[in-house]
Structure 1
């Protein structure tokens, strides 16, 4: 005789479409809710200050009028983008931005790795700490002070020109010649950020077991061979992640320093998209046009980030997602 088991109404049976994974993940979240509470302020911060303001990109497709607001301003479609692409400044802005960005990446990315590898080989701890302190210190100088130092050292009567005149040369007007803008911008950035950027590589190298180096020494490996076959592979995943992040910010080079270093005589080499957006958007009150230029810049950044992340995952297996 067959007996039917009656299912109680409050006891819900799991169907095939609801795997155990959902319940187990919810259970894990509940068991570690303290950790998620720690994350909550950061999530709220990003939602309020990064995601909610994104609705403002709508003005890039409008003829924005502050009196009518975002939703009341008339729509113009891609008019501002077409205007930017057809402007005489477009190619100059794009060239300056890309050139400064790639030069900064070309010199600024490998240099901290080299510095970290060299510092890691030092055995005199006092000297190592002294060198670390000296090269870290410029990071804590503000951009305004840094540009002020550049003006003082490279002015016609500055320290550099005094050395040039001592050896019989003529003073060079560094801040007035467009050809010197990019070298000064890149070199000052390397001086300020190289030591600080090397910290994360030193942390990665600290995780390498001394036994691996001892085994390599026993096998007769030289210092260069140990750097090549032990240290570099150890920091490669970290380097790839930082490379992807650097390329993702390729178009967002330092606005403050570029703006402060600009003069009427070197602006042809120093005008970049971020400074142009500031001048057009805030100084000239062309809000929609500036939003269109900024959105174009952000889209290029996103495409570069996606492409480099995909290439990094294929080459090394490490990526942001």
Structure 2
């Protein structure tokens, strides 16, 4: 046994020495996740306390599962939960699929120069903050904004998007599509480059047109990438983007626009109920983990690799 342990130590030591430059490159990322992701998880303990900042973690009173009971007893939490799920569902159905369609369309372009221009224009909105995006939408769609001026110049009635609860969720999804779809195509375009060109040639010989080639060659070629990203997206199904929703929210649309993230901000940061909001965040994490594990098992049962 001692000899085997020594051999294992020698193998691990040799491997670390051999891969030292790779570990050195990974070190900044490891430090980042340790400092900003893993160490803060120790704060989860306040979900089981009546946390008072002046007392700290060690001296705050322990209340067990009372904060979680308060979540299920809260008359408002159900509405915020449903708003979050509905908006997230819209984002998965539309905002998740649009990058796939854009990547396929870009892959069909034959003129490389034009393709690069289109890609650059599609990537640019990703680098705008949500504050800038919200400002643009307010300037365009407010009651006396540019869009309504244009409609009235054409003899049409003005539209109310920002304060109309029937349009609010759709507007949020459109914002995500405009801002993130171009950036989301990067992974799919990389996956498309891994498809063997001979498969397209074989499809042509069999008489397949462009649509048939996309359906029988392109989509199966990136199926594993789509499934992988879909599983990861399910992990954040209860995160719909605090900054975006908070900036666009107003009293007229709060019934359909208030989500868990804005509720946590209002209860935690504004009202100082840190224990309750931590419990909400912990439940969100648990739901995300359950969805990822379930979706990963389903993917593997259908022969896909999944996340792990």
Matched with 1:104 is 91
Matched with 2:3 is 14
Give the secondary-structure state (helix, strand or coil) at the position aligned to 2:63: coil
Taking the aligned partners of 1:67 and 1:280, their CA distance within structure 2 comes to 18
Contact 1:273-1:297 within 8 A present in 2 as well:
no
Matched with 1:83 is 70
Deviates more, 1:298-307 or 1:256-265: 298-307
Deviation (angstroms), 1:44: 2.2
Taking the aligned partners of 2:283 and 2:167, their CA distance within structure 1 comes to 28
Taking the aligned partners of 2:22 and 2:242, their CA distance within structure 1 comes to 36
Mapping of residues 101-140 of structure 1, within 5 Å: 101-140=88-127
Give the secondary-structure state (helix, strand or coil) at the position aligned to 2:84: helix
Matched with 2:241 is 254
Deviation (angstroms), 1:163: 3.8
Deviation (angstroms), 1:167: 4.7
CA offsets 1:285-307 (integer angstroms, 9 cap, x no match): 11111111111111111111111
Matched with 1:143 is 130
Deviation (angstroms), 1:94: 0.5
Taking the aligned partners of 2:120 and 2:288, their CA distance within structure 1 comes to 34
Deviates more, 1:213-222 or 1:160-169: 160-169
Which of 25, 31, 48 is the matching residue for 2:18?
A: 31
Contact 1:237-1:316 within 8 A present in 2 as well:
no
Which of 299, 302, 307 is the matching residue for 2:294?
A: 307
Give the secondary-structure state (helix, strand or coil) at the position aligned to 2:30: helix
Which of 191, 194, 206 is the matching residue for 2:193?
A: 206
CA offsets 1:201-245 (integer angstroms, 9 cap, x no match): 111112223233223323322112211222112111111111111
Query: Would you say how many aligned residue pairs link Structure 1 and Structure 2?
Result: 308
Give the secondary-structure state (helix, strand or coil) at the position aligned to 1:95: helix
Deviation (angstroms), 1:270: 1.2
- Alpha-carbon spacing, 1:264–1:48, altered in 2? closer, same or farther (3 Å): same
Deviation (angstroms), 1:159: 2.5
Deviation (angstroms), 1:20: 6.6
Q: TM-score, normalised by structure 1?
A: 0.90
Contact 1:174-1:181 within 8 A present in 2 as well:
yes
Deviation (angstroms), 1:258: 0.3
- Alpha-carbon spacing, 1:277–1:13, altered in 2? closer, same or farther (3 Å): closer
Mapping of residues 1-321 of structure 1, within 5 Å: 14=3, 24-321=11-308
Deviation (angstroms), 1:25: 4.6
For structure 1, the residue ranges without an aligned partner over 5 or more in a row are 1-11
Deviation (angstroms), 1:166: 3.9
Taking the aligned partners of 1:13 and 1:57, their CA distance within structure 2 comes to 40
Taking the aligned partners of 1:198 and 1:269, their CA distance within structure 2 comes to 30
Larger radius of gyration: 1
CA offsets 1:83-114 (integer angstroms, 9 cap, x no match): 12111111111001101111101111211111
Deviation (angstroms), 1:19: 10
- Alpha-carbon spacing, 1:26–1:234, altered in 2? closer, same or farther (3 Å): farther
Contact 1:94-1:273 within 8 A present in 2 as well:
yes
